[in-house]
Amino acid sequence: MLETLTGVGLATSAGLNAYIPLLAVGLLGRFTGLINLPGSWNWLENGWVLGILTVLLLIEFVADKIPVVDHINDVVQTVVRPTAGGLAFGATSSSGAVTVDNPGDFFGGNQWVPVVAGIVISLVVHGAKAAIRPVVNLSTGGAGAPVASTVEDVASASLSLIAIILPVLVIVFLIGFVWFFWVMFRKVRRRRAEKRARRAGVREPDPTLPLPPVR
- Give the pLDDT of residue 132: 83
- Give the pLDDT of residue 104: 46
**d(Cα 37, Cα 25) in Å, to the nearest integer?**
9
Average pLDDT value for residue range 36-60: 88
Predicted confidence (pLDDT) per residue in 129-168, tens digit? 888 888 788 777 878 888 889 999 999 999 999 988 888 8
- Give the pLDDT of residue 135: 77
Predicted confidence (pLDDT) per residue in 62-83, tens digit? 999 998 898 899 999 999 999 9
Does residue 25 or residue 101 have the better pLDDT? 25
From the number of C-beta atoms within 10 Å of its C-beta (0-12, 13-18, 19+), residue 145 rates as buried
pTM of the model: 0.75
Predicted confidence (pLDDT) per residue in 75-126, tens digit? 999 999 999 999 888 887 743 333 333 444 444 555 667 788 889 999 999 9
Contacts of 110 (CB under 8 A, 6+ apart): 95
